[in-house]
Chains A and B, each alone.
Chain A
């Protein structure tokens, strides 16, 4: 299961002009699990992802297997096998779905082969089209895809790069319920062989698909563990009560019927 190695973040700190956005965060993510990073607005979730992918400067250590990622440039981190998506889908709107995927798949091509036109479709691209359900949209300009399809295209663009770790920043924001389900199942399929780390606001989505969760608050790890464990943590409840208002809290605390039994057993075990 751990053939590709894990993503291990140790004491990650990110500062912007003296403001500590992330102050000593440690967590790890293994292949085979859908790992969630949650927390109220401003908790530093996206900043963590930014630091891992080289967009923001951070100190501490981020290791993928034996490879240290901090201090490496953005494009080299991608080549080491870390892919990411953004809060707002950022696909190349002028290019077709196929062209988007083809560009994404090209990072290991030689410079000279770039001068030739594309002929045929590579197997990796074909399977990414199938996986994300975009097979029928291959000639569509990415700009006119629906919001959900754009996010899937982004995920597809990561898949064709054959990354070891996929970092997704709020992948289901603005999606319909059906699209969320499809995305969640897609992530679970992807996670079978890879590290999947998801930053999310949506508690329901987190509950349904997370295998382990880390809660961030004001740049620090507040709680960590299985979904039920984290939900039962009084510190987590306090943060969501205190800062994010009643709506989020209700969503956070509402446990779906099916999950109640398991939740209780874990809570009891941990609480002792």
Chain B
């Protein structure tokens, strides 16, 4: 058992992979496969947040920024692919048929450029942002507010540039995905499989980072940043790595969200969307491996089942669950098993303790 223990998470990831990649496509209807794909995207963001917030202590309230970077990169590419070579996207023609394609759109015609940009853009943005913030030792609430403000800023920027980005209506009506017709069940399953496989990969990455020396260092930085400095490390660099990895995961999630859901709007990346991404992580357990992913999937499921059948009630239920979890399970639902273990342990020791404690009482009675 002790020999097996370090590998249990890996077995868990394996089981999760079988469920997502083999069982789910076999038993679920197309509607639910599509929904599950969407949850996988949120779960990928959540896995990154689990790393940055749960293990690194950085409350990233604005992952919508990186989600948006990936999503709009992919959406621009798919829009151009749908429009065909040399032609303008439909929404641009509606505004001004004679206007040329904005210069920053042009590179996104290329498949390779798009794929590279999905990974590299968040690396660049998160590196610059993270370097500036962590070297200046911005942390805690200030860091959280700043990231949140950036998510709002990006959403507002996109809303206000209708001609270039589609504005509040967003980008939608994608017909092709790298040459595959999106309106085809087999291709939809393929896109879902890619998202699910990426989720598994992200879980593996976080698992390896967690068991590595870097993972230990990250937790040490979270708990005592100044102390880490006195061990000869620069905590800014450690946090930066976790922040960038989380950003890349959010970007990949955004990129997969677009072909699965078929639309991206500023509402999906703004403040409330970013907070919902955090909510799933908090619910599941931010410092655990599976907690963030499962929590995000649960929130996603709640939103599409309860949220659509009883929209006014859903938000209250979400709020209530959130309050209950933060009050009674601050480390999320994944801490339940640990709690249960310590309860069992306590009741066992308690069973022997009263025997010792009751002895003097008996003697007193005798007297």
Contact = CB atoms under 8 A, between A and B. Distances in A.
Interface string A89-115: 011111100010011101101000111
Contacts of B231: 75, 78, 103-104, 106-107, 157, 161
A92 B227 contact: yes
B227 A75 contact: no
A83 B209 CA distance: 28
Given A74-B229, A104-B231, A107-B233, A117 B223 contact: no
Interface in B193-216: 208-209, 211-214, 216
A48 B1 CA distance: 51
A141 to B, nearest CB: 12
Q: Which of B223, B229, B230 has the most CB of A within 10 A?
A: B230
Q: Which of B219, B231, B234 has the most CB of A within 10 A?
A: B231
Nearest to A109: B213
Contacts of B216: 95, 99, 102-103, 118
Interface in B149-171: none
Contacts of B354: none
B213 A116 contact: yes
A157 B220 CA distance: 13
B230 A114 contact: no
A60 B108 CA distance: 57
A48 to B, nearest CB: 16
A53 B212 CA distance: 29
B16 to A, nearest CB: 21
B256 interface: no
Q: Which of B212, B213, B214, B232 has the most CB of A within 10 A?
A: B232
B224 interface: yes
Contacts of A94: 219, 223
A95 B209 CA distance: 16
Contacts, number: 72
A78 B230 CA distance: 6
Contacts of B226: 90
Contact of B232 (A92, A113, A161): A161
B126 interface: no
Contacts of B220: 92, 95, 103
B217 interface: yes
A115 B209 contact: yes
Contacts of A90: 224, 226-227
A75 B232 contact: yes
A189 interface: no
Contacts of B213: 102-103, 106, 109, 113-118
Contacts of A116: 212-213
A216 to B, nearest CB: 22
Contacts of A118: 213, 216
Contacts of A235: none
A33 B212 CA distance: 39
A75 B212 contact: no
B219 A95 contact: yes
A79 interface: yes
A207 B96 CA distance: 88
A84 interface: yes
B137 to A, nearest CB: 12
A77 B223 CA distance: 22
B331 to A, nearest CB: 12
Contact of B214 (A74, A75, A114): A114
B233 A115 contact: no
A135 to B, nearest CB: 20
A91 B230 CA distance: 11
A118 B211 CA distance: 8
A92 to B, nearest CB: 5
Contacts of A74: 229-230
A53 B226 CA distance: 12
B223 A92 contact: yes
A122 to B, nearest CB: 12
A92 B230 contact: no
Contact of B219 (A91, A92, A107, A161): A92
A43 B208 CA distance: 48
A103 B233 CA distance: 10
Contacts of A106: 213, 217, 231, 233
Given A103-B231, A109-B213, 16 more contacts: A75-B230, A78-B229, A79-B232, A90-B226, A92-B227, A93-B223, A95-B216, A102-B216, A106-B217, A106-B231, A107-B231, A114-B214, A116-B213, A117-B212, A117-B213, A157-B231
Across the A-B interface, give the 9 residue pairs with the lowest CB-CB distance, nearest first.
Answer: A107-B232, A78-B232, A114-B214, A92-B220, A74-B229, A117-B211, A114-B213, A90-B227, A79-B232
9 contacts: A75-B231, A92-B223, A94-B219, A95-B220, A106-B217, A106-B233, A107-B232, A114-B217, A117-B212
